[in-house]
A and B are shown apart, each in its own frame.
Chain A
Amino acid sequence: MSTLVRAFAAAMLLQLSLPAAAQQQLEGIVRDSDGTALPGATVAIPGTGNYTVTAPSGAFTLSSKQPVPYTLSVRLVGYKPVQVEVYEVTDPLEITLHSDGFLSEVTVTARRRSESERDIPIPITVVGGVRAEDAGAFNVNRLKEMVPSVQLYSSNPRNTTLNIRGLGSTFGLTNDGIDPGVGFYVDGVYYARPAATTLDFIDVERIEILRGPQGTLFGKNTTAGAFNITTRKPSFTPSGTFELSFGNLGFVQAKSSVTGPLNKIMAARFSFTGTQRDGTLYNVARDEYVNDMNNLGVRGQLLIAPKENIEITLAADASRQRPNGYAQVVAGVVTTQRPAYRQFNAIVEDLNYQLPSLDPFDRKIDHDTPWRSDQDLGGVSLNVEWQLGRGTLTSTSAWRYWNWNPSNDRDFTGLQALALSQAPSKHYQWSQEVRYSGTLNQRMNVVGGIYLLDQSLKTDPYHTEESGADQWRFSQSNTSDLWQTPGLLDGYGIRTFSTLDAFGAAAFGQLDWSIGEKFHLMPGVRLNYDRKQVDYDRQTYGGLDTDDPQLIAIKESVYSGQSFTTDVSKTTFSGQVTLSFKESSRLNAFATYATNYKPVGVNLGGLPTSGGQPMLALAEVKPEYVQHAEVGVKTVPVAGATADLTVFNTSIKDYQTLVLNSQLGVNRGYLANAESVRVTGVELEGSWRLEKRLDVRANITWVDGRYVEFKEAPSPLEDTGGEPFKDISGEVLPGISKWAGSLSAELSSNATHMLGLEGNLFFAADVYYRSSFSSSPTPSPYLMVDGYELVNARAGFRTTRGLSIFVWTRNAFSKNYFEQLLVAAGNAGHYAGVLGDPRTFGITSRYNF
């Protein structure tokens, strides 16, 4: 708590010290054509980052040093945007917005230019920052409940999988040697490590989730889709937000954001977020609650606008997580095909051990190894936007770091089996993107760019897997008494020193060609080069120091040294074409065919051995070749409502997947290519605004993901001890619920006054449902996560300027559910679960000025 409070106070002091230069006040009021005041409209001076939002009375005040004439943009969802050319200001401006008949004016930059979400032929979901904040969706894991096409599985930050439509990354434990298939972008900067998806959002303006391959628009790794996050920009209008939340489980969250001018051409924004919460699992052995939250994040941005047509943004951010957490609880035990003495229950009985509870939802563990998931992630970026000719030239340079320092108890018990499982790592990346987006002529728009990404990932100083005193019983593969040799495996382990140097380059472009009045043809291409170099050196240590060949053989059957280097590179060419038919603002239909490659991968968790030698042929993981087709339609069935339908089919050749292996030496898994998979789905997304007071949003997805051909898949947990491989062609892919959906509704009052403040009373509720899904790369009836539904709600008083206060609850009915199930190391038969949070509730106060 003290850390959070200190950090929050420091952030506030820093932010309050921002000088506020004297400004000219531009005042006005925004109404609809009936004269009704419109709160929440965004009034901005484009290109300056200077904006404000209208109060419940529709009034706004915007400070500006901009010399006249300048343009004022006024936007509100459901209304046609208005641009005002300001030449002279003598009186408050009275601005009228006309209803557009549908909720169209959600502006997105997914196609690297600002345009209406309704106009782009891409299935896209946009979640505004305020909406996400109000819903308590302060990270991707929580946001997924608002966007059913998104899946996130995280057994710790490094082992995080962000998928869209079930595709993106390998399911389960992460292998650092491959790239994610869902590009995670923040202000145009690609975040290479999936751990970034576990961080708290910092001052987010909006989140665009693009579904399907986007390789001709984005620089890196978007074979399954893209998370395009835009943070709030520095503004020349001084404003700020301070938010403080308290909840059960000791939840405290503080956020702040302050922006303002530094001088005529420079503005700055400082943002802070800090979250603390007590743990949700009780460790009976260590007498402590684990799986807590302890997160801090800061972001600073400096906007320099030396000329009307140039905007430079220098940004730096740093996030720190120190959770005592990401512990998993034993969720069940499977009888494998191994001999009876190798079954989990027999092993623990021999070791005179009992789990603290057989019901995972008792939320009790007795893990003897402390859990730790410390990570620091941050970086700096320089973004230059230059209005050049009929378009914008954008340069984005970035350098980022990730320091990862974990500690896990991967046997999930109070036994000293897998005593240490730690993979501390340091990662650095720099990237450079240069992109031009503009108009060639009246009928052609173009986006094109080049992208470079260099990454270095190394162990810090090494990864450790170490056996404890009880490991012999888990590893015992025959009935020889030699396994019981005192101290044979106690302290015996491996240290891995590895480096991964990766370089990627891409040239990409897309043309938007207007054919006639209603048709658009959008061809795009992508040329991609990737190179990965690995130096892997794994050494054994510890255990009984012996010359006995039989004992040495036992030790080496558990862990063995391994060294290899590999250098792989691939150049790929892909493309896409979209044909859209925009009959009117009420109908936008499109069809897309795209190909794409996910970069070549390398095995960075060790290779399986054959005859005691690493199988070097498995070091390289072939690129995934993605063929994607979809048809969609965005419609306005009735005034104030939208309904969008997308049908898609994605086929992937050489699907990169994790192969679980009972050898501890490959860290329970290695990467391989499944011959082919296919994901087919239908998505229906709609919204409805009724009388400006009721907003309803609904999403339903049906997805069927299957291995088309995977003949040598690893056997499921229950078949351990039997055939090592299994033909799972036709079986379902992991992590995909056939059905998922969300329904959100918000009811708000007319402008009302409370405590002298003007605002709206509101009540909102969200329901999220997903059906059961496989939580194992090879389907297992034991590793099926049951479907579940969650209800979140909030109610309170909200202003756009001043104090807002509301109460909230998440998982209101305290639904017990698993987010993921994982097989424990060594395939003894037990598996663990990542538990979803229990019911939480609290109160949030927010002050805007």
Chain B
Amino acid sequence: MNNANKLKALLILGITVGAVVSLWAQHPGTPRVVRITGTRFSYPLLQSCIDSFAIHYPDIQVIIEQRSSTDPDYDILIDGKLPNDLKQPVAGGPISIALFPVLPIANAGSSFAKFYSQTGVKRELISTIYFHNPFADRKRAVKPKAPFTVYTRLQAAPAAQVFAAHYGFKQADISGKQVAGSDEHQVKAVLRDTAAISYAPLALIYNPTSRRVREGLAILPVDADDNGKLSDQERIYDTVDDVIRYFEQHAGNSASIPAGALVLNVKDGPVSPDTFVFIQWMLQHIEKNLHDFGFVATQTLPQQRDSFLNSIISLHKQ
């Protein structure tokens, strides 16, 4: 797309937005609220977007509605998806706004962490210790060198689905103790058990301020390039920025770090003008906040964003 075409597209988009906003003019006195919900580990990221948005649009209140296994009333849904789920775009369907790597972790005090934070955990070992696999070849199973207890989510959870899918399983195949609660609770459970191992998105593994792994947790290094060895180049876990940098540098061929797509979607039916405004604003500005909260920039193209926004408008017109 050359510059002229870009300008043309932006002009059309601007006119369209203006028209839509005028169509959905608010009645005086009506609260202008946008409700957003979704996977909880994205809330800090969303809140940062909301705070920035509020500076520019003080009349629109954006509220995060906490999500459980059933969705609350919402305008915008931020969910986690497997990368493969986005290969066939659906009109009005979700748009990827970030990627979230998911890494195996352990209680830092565990003998498992002490051993495997040095040697790393390869695909075969992960398949053996994390997953219930009745068809596994027991003779070829890798014997862990230290005791462990796996913690996983009881309810369907994007991080769990991503982690399981990366190794060829489903979330239900993950063995071990199940946590009824959120991903944050899962990490808390790991911190409480000195034999615990689990998995978590970067957003919950690293301290967003210090940029280092949260106290009490240890990352179990994975064979990031899947070559059967753990080289020094793959020891990328000192800070969250190191991980993000590695991930973004190896985008497209970093197949052995589980990662899911954080996607944005809207509820079925009419979309309010304020919702539209917030979505548009967020799509344009979220990228600069991603690294702060442990997310990786997605490869979403501007045309995909435009297409998504247009589809929202068309949904309204229906």
Contact = CB atoms under 8 A, between A and B. Distances in A.
A584 B141 CA distance: 13
Interface stretch (A77-85, A132-140, A695-703, A769-777): A77-85
B178 A69 contact: no
Contacts of B177: 71, 83-85
Contact of B180 (A89, A99, A442, A517): A89
Interface string A516-533: 010000000000000000
A614 B215 CA distance: 81
B87 interface: no
Given A33-B172, A69-B189, A93-B154, A87 B182 contact: yes
Nearest to B176: A83
A91 B68 contact: yes
Residue from the set B70, B151, B154, B188 with the largest chain A CB neighbour count within 10 Å? B154
A387 to B, nearest CB: 15
Interface in A73-122: 80, 82-91, 93-96, 98-99, 101
B229 interface: no
Given A33-B172, A69-B189, A84-B154, A91 B178 contact: no
Closest 8 CB pairs of A and B: A87-B181, A87-B185, A90-B68, A88-B181, A91-B69, A83-B177, A86-B180, A84-B178
Contacts of B181: 68-69, 85-88
Nearest to B151: A85
A517 B177 CA distance: 23
Interface in B127-183: 132, 134, 138, 143, 147, 151, 154-155, 172, 175, 177-182
B143 A84 contact: no
B296 to A, nearest CB: 28
A88 B172 contact: no
Nearest to B147: A442
Interface string B182-199: 100100110010000000
A98 B132 contact: yes
Instruction: Bin chain B's interface residue count.
Output: 20 to 34
A765 to B, nearest CB: 33
Given A91-B68, A94-B69, A94-B155, 6 more contacts: A82-B178, A87-B179, A90-B68, A91-B69, A93-B180, A98-B175
B68 A101 contact: no
Contact of A87 (B132, B147, B189): B189
Nearest to B67: A90
Interface string A435-449: 000000010000000
Contacts of B185: 69, 85, 87-88
B178 A584 contact: no
A88 B68 CA distance: 10
B154 A94 contact: yes
Contacts of B70: 91
Residue from the set A84, A85, A89, A94 with the largest chain B CB neighbour count within 10 Å? A85
Contacts, number: 63
Contact of A95 (B151, B175, B178): B178
30 contacts: A33-B172, A68-B181, A69-B181, A69-B185, A69-B189, A71-B177, A72-B180, A84-B154, A84-B177, A84-B178, A85-B151, A85-B181, A85-B189, A86-B180, A86-B181, A87-B180, A87-B182, A87-B185, A87-B189, A88-B182, A90-B68, A91-B69, A91-B155, A93-B180, A95-B154, A96-B172, A98-B175, A442-B147, A517-B143, A584-B138
Nearest to B149: A83
A590 to B, nearest CB: 21
Interface residues of A, number: 26
A710 B307 CA distance: 99
A492 B182 CA distance: 85
Contacts of B68: 90-91
A605 B199 CA distance: 71
Contacts of A80: 132, 175
B178 A101 contact: no
A54 to B, nearest CB: 16
A93 B68 CA distance: 11
A33 B182 CA distance: 22
Contacts of A84: 154, 177-180
B172 A87 contact: no
A36 to B, nearest CB: 14
Residue from the set A86, A89, A442 with the largest chain B CB neighbour count within 10 Å? A86
Nearest to A96: B172
Nearest to B143: A517
Given A69-B189, A98-B132, A85 B180 contact: yes
A832 B177 CA distance: 61
Interface string B63-96: 0000011100000000000000000000000000
A623 B109 CA distance: 53
A708 to B, nearest CB: 46
Contacts of B192: 69
Contacts of B188: 69, 87
Contacts of A95: 154, 178
Residue from the set A87, A442, A517 with the largest chain B CB neighbour count within 10 Å? A87
B43 to A, nearest CB: 15
A72 B180 CA distance: 10
A455 B68 CA distance: 60
A584 B69 CA distance: 37
Contacts of A69: 181, 185, 188-189, 192
Nearest to B196: A85
Nearest to A70: B180
A87 B177 CA distance: 13
A93 B156 CA distance: 11
Residue from the set B138, B143, B179 with the largest chain A CB neighbour count within 10 Å? B179
Interface in A376-410: none
Contacts of B178: 82-85, 95
Nearest to B193: A85
Interface string B210-247: 00000000000000000000000000000000000000
Contacts of A99: 134
Contacts of A96: 172
A73 to B, nearest CB: 10
Nearest to A74: B178
Nearest to B132: A98
A84 B185 CA distance: 12
A635 to B, nearest CB: 16
A232 B103 CA distance: 44
A69 B189 CA distance: 9
Nearest to A82: B178
A84 B189 CA distance: 11
A96 B171 CA distance: 11
Interface string A563-597: 00000000000000000000010000000000000
Contacts of B172: 33, 96
A517 B144 CA distance: 11
A95 B153 CA distance: 11
Nearest to A86: B180
A584 B134 CA distance: 13
Contacts of A87: 179-182, 185, 188-189
Contacts of A89: 180
Residue from the set B143, B180, B189 with the largest chain A CB neighbour count within 10 Å? B180
Contacts of A584: 138
A72 B188 CA distance: 17
Contacts of A94: 69, 154-155
Nearest to B68: A90
A72 B178 CA distance: 9
